[in-house]
Chain A
Amino acid sequence: MDRTERLLDLVALFLDAREPISWAELREHFPADYMGISDDAAERKFERDKAELLELGFPLSYIQGDDERKDGYIVDRDAYYLPEVDLTKEELAVLYAAGSAALTSGAFPGRDDLSHALRKIGFFAGNALPTPRVRMELGSEQDGPQLAAHLEALWDACASHKWVQMSYASPKRPDLTERKVDPYGLVLRRGIWTLVGYCHLRQGVRTFLVHRIRSLKANTARPRTPDFEVPEGFSFDNHVASSPWQHRFHESVNARLRLTGELLTRGPSLFPGATVAPAEDGEGVLVELPVTFLDGLLRFCLQLGPECRVEAPEDARQRVKDMASSILEKHTPREEVAA
């Protein structure tokens, strides 16, 4: 019998059973599947079926009998059926809008899980499902089916705590590097997916942009035994940059910027988490923030134009000048050069 068919037959059998079903009875019910092979082989086959059913959320367990009941397998029907989730219109709208946006982006970890979840929460909503009005588009780096497949594999590896082996293309190196990583989780920032995990090569927590992974394989040995535990107190925020100046390239320094003109009111949205206060001399507002990648901040400030001035640290002011001078030099009109 086809395995899918057998598993569904098992579901139908257990959902209808009033008494526990013994292994001997199961073998009789499915002679073509669990008989005609050795006892060991038959048991292993049923164990695999049972594992698959458990993974589908089918709460199958074995009970030791007593005076009233015999030994055997039984399913807790109440624990199987999805009860009405009883979401308010607003809650359903939030979950539906966000879930659909994640799916349409083409790359979200656990895509299959997410599609099933959306169907299930919509099951009791009848035709009252909200129309999603939120879309998400990732950067062009993230196009292509490979990213979606890698996110899916990483999601599974995160869930089962299995290490992954991958070849990684860093723009800093000409060749691919082979990495073995314990995946702790996945982070989305500015349209880019980042894997955070323990890198066995570097012996520390490292971040990897998922679109730079060229090939990926999870450890398949002992699939139900975790390879690692995520350390207590682990937090993504200590490892992943949300803004260009937060890459952990050097020791943290405090920077001070002055915003004027059109940028006067935009401090909090441009520099999330920074301290923004009116300047004592009355000229604009001052923004203070910790920086671990100064050039990242300076380039960001450059594109904001003269209404964003870097005031501290001192060497940063000079660095901005150097950058602007270099840009000016490159773009100063040249004499026509004959071809």
Chain B
Amino acid sequence: MSVHERLRRLLFLVPFVSSRPGISVEELARALNVSREHLLEDLDLLTCVGRPPFNPDDYIDIYVENDRVYVDLDQRLSAPPRLTVGEASALAASAELLRPAAGDALRSAVEKLEGVLPPGAGERFREMYRKIDAAVEAPEALGPLTRAIHERREVSFDYATPGRGGLESRRVRPHELLSHRGQWYLQAWDLNRQDDRLFRVDRMQNLAVTDATFQPREDARAEVPNPARTNAAVRVRFTRLVAPYVRERFGEDARLLADGGVEVRVAGDNERWLTQWVLSFGGEAEVLEPASARAAVARAAKAVLGV
């Protein structure tokens, strides 16, 4: 831990405890993202901090009692320092992740951040903030979905389930938005199916936020299925041309072949995903087994050729 990082933390710690007297050691450690041990070392150090002439009343008086932290003398560390240019720009850049969702709130929040920077730092902030571009391809629906999650309201939409033809009407209790490899998903409780489901936000149509509210469950969490499993049933071989890219994604799980190609194993439970994935290599990938997966890829190639 650098001196700089520790100082940043300590200058925040004193006013934070001042404004929350009796905060537990555990809660404080969590808020500062440090271990209990490091926090106690920080508190020890702070008791040695003061100002000349270093009379007893000139020291910061911070102490732990019954595992709770109190400050009696803060030596004018009554509020945290202003946001630095780096802090404000990292925050503003991260907010870009939600650009369509945020609407006017993002613009006004960024303006307010600029307002609390040290005097004269505005220009540097605008320059820095442009150095990160995290505006991922976020669909418009993120806006109403974020609102529905915060207001705990059910949403309805028509969902295009690939391969089933047409749209199906869904009504769900939205829980969480997830961006995975740049693709946005909504994790929600599907009222029709009485089960947790993951929906791709770009496949939703006619989204509406309803007036029906609900109590969210705490434990809900969905994972995007990871197709790369070493015990998976489907073997796929890649030519030497695309091998380096496949190795990048699969790492050690990609077995190097004598001809410079690689072989990987992936899950076969989603035939549609597998077929699309193999096709996306434009002839540089081949399913080795099972025969059913090979046949599915052949059918998809025939469909494209119209034969």
- B165 within 8 Å of A (CB atoms): yes
Answer yes or no: A108 CB below 8 A from chain B CBs.
yes
Assess whether B279 is in contact with A303, with CB atoms less than 8 Å apart: yes
Bound CA–CA A14/B113 (angstroms)? 26
A190 / chain B contacts, CB cutoff of 8 Å:
136-137, 181-183
Q: What string of 1s and 0s marks CB contacts (under 8 Å) between A43-79 and chain B?
A: 0000000001001111100000000000000001101
List the A side residues contacting B108 at CB < 8 Å: 88, 91
| Measured CA separation A121–B181 after assembly (Å) | 28
A187-B133 in contact (CB<8A): yes
Give the size range of A's interface with the partner: 35 or more
Determine the residue in chain B with the shortest Cβ distance to A156: B86
B258 lies within 8 A of chain A by Cβ = no
Bound form: Cα–Cα A83–B95 in Å: 21
A5 touches B249 (CB 8 A): no
A333 in contact with B294 (CB, 8 Å): yes
CA distance A186 to B109 in the complex (A): 22
Which residues of chain A come closer than 8 Å to B278, judged between CB atoms?
Answer: 327
Q: Mark B76-110, 1 if CB is under 8 A from A, else 0.
A: 11111111111111110111111001100110110
Residues from chain A with a CB closer than 8 A to the CB of B150 are 93, 130, 133
Q: Which residues of A contact B81 (CB under 8 A)?
A: 56-58, 80-82
Shortest A227–chain B CB gap in Å is: 15
In residues 166-203 of chain B, which contact A (Cβ within 8 Å)?
Answer: 166, 175-183, 202-203
Per-residue CB contact flags for chain A residues 115-141 toward chain B (1 = under 8 Å, else 0) read 111111101000000100111111111
CA distance A12 to B53 in the complex (A): 12
* A94 on interface, CB distance cutoff 8 Å: yes
Q: Does A185 contact B (CB under 8 A)?
A: yes
What are the residues of chain A within 8 A of B134 when measuring CB–CB? 102, 108, 187-188
8 Å CB interface, B9-29 against A: 10-12, 15-16, 19
Binary interface encoding of chain B residues 261-280 relative to chain A, with 1 for a CB under 8 A from any of its CBs, else 0: 00000000000000011111
A302 within 8 A of B: yes
Would you call B244 an interface residue if the criterion is a C-beta within 8 Å of the partner chain's C-beta atoms?
Answer: yes
A3 in the interface, Cβ–Cβ < 8 Å? yes
Q: Assess whether A137 is in contact with B116, with CB atoms less than 8 Å apart.
A: no
A81 cross-chain contacts in B, Cβ below 8 A: 78-82
A298 contacts B by Cβ under 8 Å: yes
A57 touches B283 (CB 8 A): no
Among the stretches A213-221, A262-270, A280-288, the one at the interface with B is A262-270
Please name all residues of chain B whose beta carbon is closer than 8 Å to the beta carbon of A269 when the two chains form the complex: 139, 202
Neighbour of A242 across the interface among B102, B109, B137, B297, CB < 8 A: B137
**B133–A330 contact, CB under 8 A?**
no
A55 to B5, CA, bound (A): 11
Which residues of the partner chain B approach A155 to less than 8 Å between Cβ atoms?
86, 90, 131-132
A85 sits at the interface (CB 8 A): yes
- Give the complex CA separation of A49 and B90 in angstroms: 25
Q: Which residues of B from 211 to 263 have beta carbons under 8 Å from A?
A: 224, 226, 228, 244-245, 247-251
B-chain residues with CB within 8 Å of residue A135 when the two chains form the complex: 176-179
List, in ascending order, chain A residues with CB within 8 A of B251's CB. 140
B283 touches A191 (CB 8 A): no
Interface pair B98/A97, CB less than 8 Å apart: yes
Given known contacts A134-B98, A139-B249, A302-B280, A12 and B50 CB-to-CB distance under 8 angstroms: yes
Chain A, residue nearest B139 (CB): A269
**Is A262 a contact of B31 with CB atoms below 8 Å?**
no
Closest residue of chain B to A3 (Cβ to Cβ) is: B3
Asked if B56 lies at the interface with its beta carbon under 8 angstroms from chain A, I say no
Contact assessment for A331 and B297 in the assembled complex, using a CB-CB cutoff below 8 Å: yes
Q: Which of A52, A80, A320 contacts B4 (CB 8 A)?
A: A52
Given contacts A171-B248, A185-B131, contact A331 B286 (CB under 8 A): yes
Cβ–Cβ contact A88 & B105, under 8 A: yes
Distance in angstroms from B40 CB to nearest chain A CB is 15
Tell me whether A272 and B137 are in contact (CB under 8 A).
yes
The smallest beta-carbon distance between B272 and chain A, in angstroms, is 9
Chain B residues contacting A137 (CB-CB under 8 Å) are 178-181, 224
A164 within 8 A of B: no
Known A94-B106, A98-B98, A134-B98; contact A117-B91, beta-carbon cutoff 8 A: yes
A134: chain B residues at CB < 8 Å are 97-98, 146, 176-179
Other-chain residue from A101, A130, A327 in contact with B297 (beta carbon distance below 8 A)? A327
- Smallest beta-carbon distance B60→chain A, Å: 7
Closest residue of chain B to A194, judged by CB?
Answer: B133
The distance in angstroms between the C-alpha atoms of A332 and B96, with both chains bound, is 47
A150-200 interface with B by 8 A CB criterion: 155, 158-159, 171-172, 184-192
Q: Are B146 and A97 in contact (CB under 8 A)?
A: yes
Whether B182 lies near A189 (C-beta < 8 A) is yes
Task: Identify which of residues 145-161 in chain B touch chain A, using a CB-to-CB cut-off of 8 Å.
Answer: 146, 149-150, 160
Q: Given A4-B7, A123-B15, A123-B19, do A101 and B133 touch, yes or no (CB 8 Å)? A: no
Question: Is the beta-carbon distance between B118 and A94 smaller than 8 angstroms?
Answer: no
Among B33, B51, B84, the residue within 8 A (CB) of A16 is B51
Question: Once the chains are docked, how many angstroms separate the CA of A141 from the CA of B248?
Answer: 6
9 A-B residue pairings within 8 Å (CB atoms): A4-B10, A57-B83, A58-B81, A114-B91, A117-B91, A121-B113, A123-B80, A190-B182, A323-B282
- Nearest 6 A-B pairs (CB), nearest first? A171-B244, A110-B90, A190-B182, A326-B283, A191-B181, A91-B109
